Structure 1
């Protein structure tokens, strides 16, 4: 047969099974059908009476040599091969026993695959089952029509041979091949399928004709068989030329489409998915990822497309250690593949972070600094090594992206997107009125501080501040004045803490203060007293001045063996704040971790600073 099935690293398809699992199941079904044919209708079939006969080892050698003469055709990024194996099959139908022909064909083609690319169990299994099915259909059609007893050159014999090769090579083979690719990838492109089918038909027809020519010489003048060498070489050269011409056209079309996307990327999220999907198809991978660094120091933006999907997922975070090491490794290399390195190298770590075994990376080189890198992972065809042409194409695409990042519309789109993400993050974690942290960011910061406590052994405290008299000011002077008061309070609170502490607006007229890494437990009470005093000062608002107070609850953690959850620490501070209000407001209360609320209420006077005279 002239084509071989692809294989893939595991990846998700349309069904719950991975593509490689579906391919193995499909190959097993083909194998079962082939076995049923060989053990059923073909069980007792024998070689037709003919003057043409060759030993089994010659047929095996011919199948092996023919499988080494091949061209590659790409179907949606997946390579399939067209070889000259129909020639020894056409001869073998007359010259050897059908069961011997099956063994010679399967063994010869398999040895050819191993010679070209090494052993790949999943791919070899799929090819083995497909070859068995191909030979079963070929022999079944050939024996059903029946060769003439007059010899292989009789009209009936030629008709049986042509029909067998046509059904197997024009119908069964292409259908099985494309169905296997569909199960593997979940999608087929009609244009590529038609192109590959035409190559298949031409190759099968040409090889069958050469096989008939070989029979002519073998039946009459075997010593003239050497004259087949020039036409076979010409056919192979023509196929190679056509294949290379098509690959060159594919590369040019890919580069043109890539340039068009990069120069019209006003909506970078949409076009990034289209760009990465095109790369996945061109290079035959299941995952493509673009890592962009808008600033030399700052978060990187990652666009990821899997399964050829035109929509990319977007995330933003600092570069990981493996990504930084990979960028360093790419300083002196054009393209680095993970399979070329030992398991502990930066590339292996980079792809291990993404849960894949094999892939290639290329840097996006700028004039002054790296712009990021492009990752291609999960090769669908089982070929773990890029060809030199593929490496050159990948470097060219990386250069196009680098230029677009530095000077083209993509640069502006990336910067705009980065600014939008920063703005969304600011809105998510900061209070829009006072521009200080909100409850979400405050709770997260408290959690991080408590996590560090066992190692730092420095006390951590939270202050829960509730303004006294704010509602009356808001009702009397309006919300505009109330907003100004809240801004003034936020400014005053920030002035009472260290740079690495935090002030947050928890909601309404409630504020929180995080004191991280204090030297002594009593430091929290000192800060709380300063806050009480600063809140008493009148707030000038143009022609008027208003005054508010504050009831403050303090919760301190200094025992590394008994660290509460962030919400629990805030709850303790909240309880202490309510106790401060019960005791007359304008004061602070420290939560007693060794007692329950009733005891705290009883001992409130002992923990409350006396109000000023």
Structure 2
């Protein structure tokens, strides 16, 4: 197969000595010199083949000229390559023609076609003629060498090898031109070129050999072979045309997709035009887009080789473009090389911009014209834009117009959708805080309750009413009040999990939906986080700082919860109970809270009667010395042994006790029993020098004026040494009334007892109160212990608490130890004491006495039966 170069060289990198054009000139001269030397030194001396026939050499010239006109165009980057069926004539000539006549005929015939039919000039023409001279000389010389007397009937194989060698040399020459033009060499084009040319060379050369051998033996057979030969050539041309169409369809999809692939419109249009220029192998691609009113607002975008791209610039020559637009709209697509006069305007446009040719097509849809797509300056001198290029451009234009129309429809639809979403958001959210409003909150609560009916994973609702908001609003104005509400809303969001919902129900009332699974302990942790955030002062303006509290009611969903409205109403009832109970962290709704005052009084009376009748008992959970593994005391806990319901846990009556004030009487009973039992433990286990008992004090007890006297009397009545009594309070208790709490704790400290902070790290956790209050012990919260070994944050927090306590000379107690792994972690961290189900559940006082009296106590000891 013979290949020719059909385009000017691509821009190459600047070289210090020779430009790409000079290097190609040098290569052409080298090829010409090699071809001439091979012709005069070898080919002229070769004898004719035994099968050669006497034919005028002009016939061979005509045959090569015609074969060079039957071409297939293949494009690599900016280089166009044309493959002819000259191998068919060359194969026949090796058998039938004299060697020197064959080479001269190929050079003259192919050269004439390149000059007269393809309009090649200059370096391109010289290179292709030199390539023909060298290839023809190599083919004839190799055929003569391989088809000597020893070969005989195998001369056809020699001819095939010679022609294939010529094709390889031709492809290497073209590859050299590409590499010199681009300033770099990539083997992939050479591999693709050989993969395409060698099979076609083999086929066309074989046909030529069959023709030659038939002519040598039976000239009439040539007429029979003419038709299949023509069909083979036509079939290959059809195949390459089909490949070109398939490639065009792929390019059409990729290029038009660029208009939607990027969120940046300017970037998308720039990429689109660059791809259009590459698809048509053109120097220029231009897109004119009309404004809504036609000419007004029209823009032009342009991509040109070697120049910076222009995107959506104001149209600089609107009249010129609009004339083209009118022509393209009336006639379809335009090209400069048509026989009709409709391309004259486009010819003037192209020549005025230094383009040798151009095409243009209107961007049309059924109802309007959107603009114009123009391509100009086909790279390569051999061909201009063909009818298939024009059809492809028209298809491009229609697709682009459809994309633009669809884009406008999508934009309108997006605007409508965005508006609907804004209206929906406004209907379901509080405009001040951005939180969900009552409607959306109830909808999510209903969904959670309905889901719980199937999964048995029930939600909880917190109803929050701000304490102290009205004075802020009245004193500093509504703007300050609104700022306070927005700040509370933001802090509330930060206290919740992504699956939970915070809402503003109106005024200073908020609600929180905690999706399950959630228990009372988890709720308490959430509320501690909320109160911690509320304790941080809010800056409302210059010199204006406010702090608000909150009354919180809690409703826990269960199998008896009929619907979400009931759950929210129960949390509302619990909130009002909490508001009437000063110092209460929160109140959990219990059956009867929403009943009449008489029913409420009856429930309170039942609890009061239980206190008088001795139904409330004290149980103890052992405290373990981590370093020795021995029990050194216990924490006192209260239980209600109801005569009908059985054992009631604290969370079923403590809230009622707080609300009614009975908590102070219950606390006194627990305190007295704990001191009495601890004194017995000491008397029966005098070797346990560090034995102690811990008792929880509620907010009401800390605020009770009689608490100091109650502790003194309990110690004196039991004979317990004061340092063995540890009074536990929570961080939030310290924050309600700091001054009063500090005064009470210092008085208690004066009795000789010790003070512990329960659940340290989950509340305010300020180092200031560790200095201000007489603290002796920190209890690491259960939630941090639970994450030891699994959560790096819990490991770090626990370590920090232990190290802080060690630095301040405080004891540390790790709560909620349930696994051996947790025990090992708290031991490694240096905790002093531990308690949890791994060691023992809450047990009665006698069981504790037996434990502390044992001489050998393994660690950890199996959990004892709970009381």
Give TM-score scaled by structure 1 length: 0.57
Give the equivalent residue in structure 1 for 2:147: 147
Kept in 2, the 8 Å contact 1:364–1:401? The answer is yes
Contact 2:357 2:376 in 1 (8 A): yes
What residue number does 2:447 align with? Answer: none
1:268 to 260, 265, 268: 265
Structure-to-structure mapping, 1:76-475, within 5 angstroms: 76=77, 79-113=80-114, 117=118, 123-143=124-144, 145-149=145-149, 153-155=152-154, 157-169=155-167, 171-181=168-178, 194-295=191-292, 296-307=294-305, 312-314=309-311, 316-320=313-317, 321-340=319-338, 345-366=344-365, 369-383=368-382, 385-408=384-407
Alpha-carbon shift at residue 398 of structure 1 (Å): 0.6
Shift of 1:243: 1.0
| 1:260–1:193 distance in 2 versus 1, CA, 3 Å | farther
Supply the distance in 1 between the matched residues of 2:260 and 2:187 (Cα, whole angstroms): 28
Deviation at 1:81, TM superposition (A): 2.9
Question: Structure 1 residues 32-41 or 374-383, which shifts more?
Answer: 32-41
Report the CA distance shift for 1:120/1:400 in structure 2 as closer, same or farther (over 3 A): farther
User: Counterparts of 2:245 and 2:25 in 1: how far apart (Å)?
Assistant: 32
Q: Is 1:68 the equivalent of 2:69?
A: yes
Whole-angstrom CA distance in 2 between matches of 1:411 and 1:133: 61
- Cα deviation 1:304-338 (Å, max 9, x = unaligned): 333499x8443612341432332233232222233
Deviation at 1:85? 0.9
**Cα distance, 1:189 vs. partner?**
8.8
Deviations 1:209-229, CA, capped at 9 Å, x for gaps: 223323422443334333432
Which secondary structure does the structure 2 equivalent of 1:277 belong to?
helix
Q: Secondary structure at the match of 1:287?
A: strand
Q: Root-mean-square deviation (CA), in Å?
A: 3.8
C-alpha distance in 2, partners of 1:102/1:61? 13
Render the CA deviation track for 1:481-531: whole Å, top value 9, x for unaligned.
Answer: xxxxxxxxxxxxxxxxxxxxxxxxxxxxxxxxxxxxxxxxxxxxxxxxxxx
What SS does structure 2 have at the residue aligned with 1:36? helix
8 Å Cα contact 2:61-2:108 kept in structure 1: yes
What is aligned with 1:14? 12
**Contact conserved, 1:272 with 1:312, CA < 8 A, in 2?**
no
Q: Specify the alignment match of 1:53 in structure 2.
A: 53
Kept in 1: contact 2:12–2:20 (CA 8 A): no
1:434 is matched with none
| Distance in 2 separating the partners of 1:126 and 1:329 | 41
Structure 1 356/15 Cα, relative in aligned 2: closer, same or farther at 3 Å? farther
Q: Deviations over 1:266-300 (max 9, x none)?
A: 22333333322332232221222222234434454
CA deviation map 1:173-205 (0-9, x unaligned): 222224434555778998776554322111111
d(CA) in 2 for partners of 1:63, 1:350: 39
User: Between Structure 1 and Structure 2, how many residues are aligned?
Assistant: 404
- Measured after TM superposition, the shift of residue 234 of structure 1 is 3.7
| Counterparts of 1:294 and 1:213, CA distance in 2 | 65
TM-score by length of 2: 0.42
Deviations 1:385-427 (A, max 9, x none): 43222211110101111122233179969xx9xxxxxxxxxxx
Per the TM alignment, residue 245 of structure 1 is displaced from its structure 2 partner at its CA by: 2.4
Q: CA deviation at 1:375?
A: 1.9
- Are the counterparts in 1 of residues 175 and 189 from structure 2 also a CA contact under 8 Å? no
> Is the 8 Å Cα contact of residues 120 and 382 (structure 1) preserved in structure 2?
no
CA distance in 2: counterparts of 1:275 and 1:313, whole angstroms: 12
Structure 2 vs 1, CA of residues 248 and 368 (structure 1 numbering), >3 Å: closer, same or farther? closer
Q: Spell out, residue by residue over 1:349-398, the C-alpha distance to the aligned partner (whole angstroms, 9 max, x if none).
A: 43345333322222223556542222212211325543222211110101
Unaligned runs of 5+ in 1: 417-613
Q: Higher relative contact order by CA 8 Å / sep ≥ 6: 1 or 2?
A: 1
1:43 to 24, 41, 44: 41
| Alignment check: 8 A CA contact 2:35 2:130 kept | no
Larger Rg: 2
Q: Following the alignment from structure 1 to structure 2, what is the Cα–Cα distance between the partners of residues 249 and 343?
A: 30
* Structure 2 runs not aligned, ≥5 long: 416-867
Cα distance in structure 2, aligned partners of 1:392 and 1:272:
22
